[in-house]
């Protein structure tokens, strides 16, 4: 059984956006929907590299099919603290036709690029957020259930009288 990877706290919000976006474009009836969306987004990014400023989840989507990450090396660097750009860039390979774009992004939007690559790393690992694996506190649910039973029981008794 493989080890479950958890997304570090500093990536959780962006990771959830990334996974929600990917899931929303995965349609069994239209299998090319995600690819088409990524291609259009990537084309726009090539024209205007800054148009995704502040949206690392969308940048990660753009890079989904053009980068290859050494996740075995990158994930351990990312768990306890955010790694440096030098640590991240050493774990990235990119399709040669996208090298100029990646260079531009690294020069002008380095922090966002780093976060996008970390998001992709954890996505490739099939990571989850700790929120989704937290043990459920059943005490409140049981209280609500007891209230329902108590209320339902009173109604039932009332109906039985007629």
Q: What is the domain range of residue 47?
A: 9-137
Residue 104 has pLDDT above 60, yes or no: yes
Please provide residue 93's backbone torsions phi and psi, each rounded to the nearest 5 degrees.
-120, 145
Contact 106, 47 (CB under 8 A): no
Q: What is the pLDDT of residues 119-141, one digit of tens each?
A: 999 999 987 765 443 344 444 44
Helices (H), the chain: 12-25, 33-47, 56-63, 71-78, 85-89, 99-108, 110-124, 130-133, 138-161
Residue 145 in any domain: the answer is no
Residue 51 in any domain: the answer is yes
Residue 105 in any domain: the answer is yes
CB atoms within 10 A of CB 112: 20
What pTM, to 2 d.p., does this model score? 0.75
Residue 98 in any domain: the answer is yes
Q: How many domains does the chain have?
A: 1
Q: What is the pLDDT of residues 17-63, one digit of tens each?
A: 999 999 998 888 888 999 999 999 999 999 998 889 899 999 999 99
């Amino acid at each position: 059984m493989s080890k479950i990877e958890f997304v570090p706290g500093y990536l959780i919000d962006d990771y959830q956006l990334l996974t929600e976006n990917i899931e929303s474009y995965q349609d069994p009836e239209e299998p090319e929907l995600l690819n088409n969306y990524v291609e259009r987004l990537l084309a726009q990014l090539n024209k205007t590299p800054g148009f995704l400023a502040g949206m690392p989840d969308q940048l990660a989507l753009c890079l989904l099919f053009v980068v290859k990450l050494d996740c075995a090396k990158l994930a351990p660097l990312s768990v306890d603290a955010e790694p440096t750009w030098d640590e991240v860039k050493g774990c990235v390979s990119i399709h040669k036709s996208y090298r100029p774009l990646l260079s531009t992004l690294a020069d002008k939007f380095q922090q966002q690029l780093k976060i996008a690559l970390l998001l992709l790393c954890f996505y490739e690992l099939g990571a989850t957020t700790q929120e989704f694996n937290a043990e459920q506190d059943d005490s409140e649910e049981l209280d609500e259930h007891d209230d329902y039973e108590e209320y339902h029981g009173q109604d039932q008794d009332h109906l039985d009288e007629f």
